[in-house]
Structure 1
Amino acid sequence: MKLKFEKLENLKELVPEVIYNFVYKNKLENKIKVAEINPDFADGQLLSENYDVPLEIELNCIIVEGKRKDEIIYSAVVVPYGKKLNTGSPMKKLLNVSKISFAPLEYVLNETKMEFGSVTPIGLPTEWYILVDEAVFNQDEVIIGGGYVKSKICVPSDIFKELPNVIISNEISK
């Protein structure tokens, strides 16, 4: 792999402040490494081809909005690269909502302080849920967006079990 991951404290400028603060507040600094990338190669296949990153360790994070009557619930959904979301009945049941759709982009970017194409579950608003595909744990270490399109973070997959409001399921992707 051509990416050179380093301790977050050495490359603080590669992640939004919200991620940096979350990592240190929760004493995760020894578990999270960051690398700078060319933003043109941030997408999974391009990242793999240009940096020799195995596709099986890449993750996608998509933000969905669930509705139940007048209540709106937000959730990050973390799935292995190449898997499609299953926003049907299983996800609705997990979030206890009647309708699920992709969250409005402007809202997501404003609330997360992250960039489009690099939203990550680390450092999200504390009231948001994080749905994690069980298949994520098939890998010891995984790579996901770093909050800015110019970065990726590498984490042990088990870190997702330590994040707030996590729900692990094998029914959120196909």
Structure 2
Amino acid sequence: MNDQPQLPFGTFETVAPALNVRDLLAGPVADALAAWADREAARSVLYVDTDPEKADTAVFCETYGVPLEASANCVVVAAKRGGETTRAACLALAHTRVDVNRAVRKRLEARKASFAPMEAAVELTGMEYGGITPVGLPADWPLLIDEAVARAPYVLVGSGRRRGKLILPGRALAALPGAEVLAGLAG
């Protein structure tokens, strides 16, 4: 009898409830899962072990049999208005692109919005480049989620590290602290 949880997609040798393998996650991700008030959502998160050399989306999806429509990318943006900078994270399905210049800028009421430099994104999130995930982001950041992600039965996202990914229901992502589901965030 196989004790591994049932995967909704993909071919992975190792799968486990993420709460059971918190030591494999980036610190902020493990802490967020442990503290998530919605315990059902926290228990729904699966961890799959993956090769960090294959963490980039296109290579990853091909290697592990994950449809692009089931994979989501989390990007960090910096929005400026006056002398102030607001950081936010945006989550969109891998086959789409976040509309930073219109949708994000408008939602954050900024004069200018752009992708944050890699070094800043890594430092501010406490996560590795190529593994940044919406789970465990700084508490004061808005998390803007494209409506297609929230509607997806299951979505694959980073684990906070380049090694390993998380799989969870789109509705659980929409229930993360600071999450806001937006129509037209990505296209």
Q: TM-score, normalised by structure 2?
A: 0.87
Task: Look up the match of 1:72.
Answer: 85
Q: Partner of 1:17 in structure 2? A: 27
Determine whether 1:33 maps to 2:46. Answer: yes
The aligned amino acid for 1:163 is: L
Q: What residue is the counterpart of 1:126 in the other structure?
A: 139
* 2:87 counterpart SS class: strand
What is the percentage of aligned positions where both structures have the same residue? 28
Q: Residues 133 and 172 of structure 1 are in contact (CA less than 8 Å); yes or no, is this contact kept in structure 2? A: yes
Higher strand proportion: 1
Partner of 1:165: 178
1:90, distance to aligned residue in structure 2 (A): 2.5
In the other structure, the counterpart of 1:137 is 150
Q: Which amino acid aligns with 1:25?
A: A
Task: Report the alpha carbon displacement of residue 63 of structure 1 after superposing the two structures with TM.
Answer: 0.4
- Number of paired residues? 174
Query: 8 Å contact 1:91–1:171 — kept in the other structure?
Result: no
Matches within 5 A, 1:50-61: 50-61=63-74
Gaps of 5+ in 2: 1-9
Structure 1: tracts of 5 or more residues without a match: none
C-alpha separation in 1, matches of 2:102 and 2:67: 31
Deviation sequence 1:20-65 (CA, Å, 0-9, x none): 1111111343121111100121122212221111221000111000
Shift of 1:9: 3.4
Q: CA RMSD in A?
A: 1.4
Residue type of the partner of 1:21? D
